[in-house]
Structure 1
Amino acid sequence: MKACDARHWGVDCAEKCDCKDGDGSCDAVTGQCNCEAGYTGTQCYDKCPVGYFGLGCLHHCQCDNKGTCDHVSGACTCLVGWTGTFCEKPCPQGFYGLDCQEKCVCVNGGHCSHVTGVCVCPAGWIGPTCNLS
């Protein structure tokens, strides 16, 4: 019995693998698809379930604060106002928004929300930027 290439299986390698995009590999004896990292299902068309990633979808995502996990690599994409490898840190003081790219405009000791940029004014100050006494 000759060895089959990655895209064929069965007796004399006569069967073609029926995997994602027609170019996926399969088991030479059973024809079961060997899914790439991040994919699952009988033909490898399904992304890993939410919360899992990688080869065989065996790895559990570690994103905090409702960050989303890439189904292939496990890399986290943070929601607005969060940063860090696992979205574990709020934006640093003075910044807010997506990827913490927005600069806060609060004055007179006001602190802005790391998510929205809305100023929280100290006693004695009011206004959108804490500029009115």
Structure 2
Amino acid sequence: MAIQPHTLILFGVLLLSLITVESGGWFLTRVGRGSIPANALQKNFFRAGHAHAAVLLMLSLVILVVLDAAHLPAGYDVVARFGVPVAALLMPAGFFLSVLGKDPQRPNRLLALLWIGAGSLTLGLLTAGVGLIVAGVQAS
């Protein structure tokens, strides 16, 4: 199975994006030590944002590897290829940005990014999953 050049580029971008997750981990250690003041809501949302970023970026890498072998039609391929990486940006952004400020008591309107990201995740997973099943059935 040959990996396409555009897949290699996206793979590289996603790997470099994991550096931001690493710096997010350092940020969380500072929050945990009390160096950065944060209330309970912020701590929970920061942890959730960090975890979602890492897991979704790794899932994105896995999906990319198999999509080149599936040869999905162009429109489906774009949704399958970018749905999860877009979610990996939007969902953590929703968690982090919705609780910025001094002692917020509830998330702000930027929490909508979380739900837009969840929609992107669902579309990406659905398209990739169905596309891979169809490709497998056609290949057998």
TM-score interval, smaller chain: under 0.3
Whose helix proportion is higher, 1 or 2?
2
Relative to the length of structure 2, the TM-score reads 0.24
Whose strand proportion is higher, 1 or 2?
1
Relative to the length of structure 1, the TM-score reads 0.25
